[in-house]
């Protein structure tokens, strides 16, 4: 059982904040992944916008209430860097640069030979294959200013940020834990949330590309209810044609990214071999059914059959991202 040598107050908590929610999971065990505790809080529009904190006072007050209500004060925290802030880019470095020199080289080249749409990034990288005089790597980057706003907020509220992760890796970690991926699998992961869709394509365990597609969200067109477990449920009360058009736009973006991977990124012109669907969108099952009808390759959802029997039921699918985050550095 994971973390069995620690007392409750020392267990790391896992927080996911996006434009419309705060979610938290505390891991009970790793195999199979089971949540010890979990909870969520809906965020009204305008507090976080496209991943950036736009109303720090309101977010501070709400998060302070959550910490008190969920009894997670003075804990270490893993958190997800919001998808709109993250860029994944393939870059090349000279082959003669030693592994322990690569990060310094990247620092020097950012802004000159390596261009990002923001200054002063925080970044990490993953080495790919050598390519003659160069070595390819994947660069994962986000603007330091906005990432540190989250870290500083947690610190202000007496939480200690210890790990920052990105959602495609967190979800793939859970998928890999629960499934045995096929050999040479090319996985298209699509995270359908209430206000956005995040798409990424994996070769093996490596996310080669990621795209963020925002969804228009009018809170007046959704009816919100909270059940006895604290889970928030949404029911659409607007014109269903609007959702149909929205899905058609998403499907076009999925097809465009699939083609981009096959004809521009894949050296062997390989195609996507599986779609993995997840997220907190209230119509996720309908989206899954429609994609199964439209696409010629398998479309699946992450299945957690042995999920946590906490609060009288299994861990909701909307918490899977937090659960995947909880598996970081414990596998």
pLDDT of residue 269: 87
Collapsing DSSP to helix, strand or coil, 237 comes out as coil
Give the DSSP letter string of 5-42.
TS-GGGSPEEEEEETTEEEEEEEEETTTTEEEEEEEEE
Cβ atoms of 99 and 126 closer than 8 Å: no
Q: DSSP 3-state assignment of 181?
A: coil
Q: CA–CA distance from 278 to each of 7, 190, 191 (Å)? A: 32, 6, 5
User: Could you give the CA distance from residue 59 to residue 16 in angstroms, rounded to a whole number?
Assistant: 13
Is the sign of the CA dihedral 117, 48, 285, 246 positive or negative? Answer: negative
3-state secondary structure of 108: helix
pLDDT at 317: 86
CA proximity to 82, closest of 54, 114, 110: 54
Question: Which domains does the chain carry?
Answer: 8-85+143-326 (3.30.420.40), 87-142 (3.30.1490.300)
SS3 305: coil
Q: Is the dihedral of CA 315, 319, 322, 323 positive or negative?
A: positive
CA–CA distance, 52 with 59 (Å, rounded to integer)? 11
pLDDT of the residue at 305: 61
Give CA–CA dist 103/263, Å, rounded: 30
Residues making up the chain, counted from first to last? 331
**Predicted local confidence at residue 312, as pLDDT:** 39
The pLDDT assigned to 145 comes to: 96
DSSP-assigned letters across all residues of 269-291: -----EEEEE---TTHHHHHHHH
> How far is the C-alpha of 132 from the C-alpha of 115, rounded, in Å?
23
Q: What pLDDT does 10 receive? A: 53
What is the residue whose two structure tokens read 């065990």?
29
Mean pLDDT by 10 residues, the chain (331 residues): 38 94 92 88 95 98 97 96 95 91 92 88 90 89 97 97 95 90 93 96 94 93 85 90 94 96 89 96 94 95 60 72 88 45
């Amino acid at each position: 059982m994971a973390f069995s040598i620690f007392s409750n107050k020392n267990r790391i908590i896992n927080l996911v904040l996006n434009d419309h929610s705060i979610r938290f999971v505390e891991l009970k065990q790793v195999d199979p992944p089971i949540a010890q505790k979990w909870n969520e809080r809906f965020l009204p529009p305008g507090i976080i916008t496209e991943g950036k904190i736009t109303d720090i006072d309101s977010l501070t007050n709400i998060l302070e209430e959550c910490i008190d209500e969920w009894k997670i004060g003075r804990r270490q925290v893993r958190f997800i860097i919001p998808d709109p802030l993250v860029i994944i880019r393939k870059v090349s470095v000279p082959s003669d640069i030693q592994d322990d020199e690569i990060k310094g080289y990247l620092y020097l080249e950012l802004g000159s030979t390596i261009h990002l749409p923001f200054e002063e990034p925080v970044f990490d990288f993953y080495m790919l294959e050598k390519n003659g005089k160069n070595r390819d790597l994947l660069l994962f980057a986000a603007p330091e200013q906005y990432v540190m706003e989250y870290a500083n907020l947690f610190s202000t509220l007496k939480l200690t940020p210890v790990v920052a992760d990105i959602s495609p890796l967190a979800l793939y970690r859970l998928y890999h834990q629960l499934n045995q991926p096929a050999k040479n699998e090319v996985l298209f992961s699509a995270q359908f949330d209430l206000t956005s869709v995040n798409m990424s394509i994996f070769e093996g365990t490596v996310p080669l590309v990621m795209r963020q597609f925002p969804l228009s969200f009018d809170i007046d067109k959704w009816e919100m209810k909270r059940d006895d477990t604290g889970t928030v449920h949404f029911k659409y009360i607007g014109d269903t044609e609007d959702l149909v058009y929205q899905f058609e736009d998403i499907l076009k973006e999925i097809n465009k990214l699939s083609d981009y991977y096959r004809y521009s990124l894949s050296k062997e012109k390989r195609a996507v071999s599986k779609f993995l669907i997840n997220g907190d969108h209230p119509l996720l099952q309908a989206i899954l059914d429609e994609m199964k009808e439209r696409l010629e390759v398998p479309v699946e959802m992450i299945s957690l059959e042995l999920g946590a029997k906490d609060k009288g039921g299994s861990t909701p699918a909307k918490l899977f991202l937090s659960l995947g985050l909880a598996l970081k550095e414990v596998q």
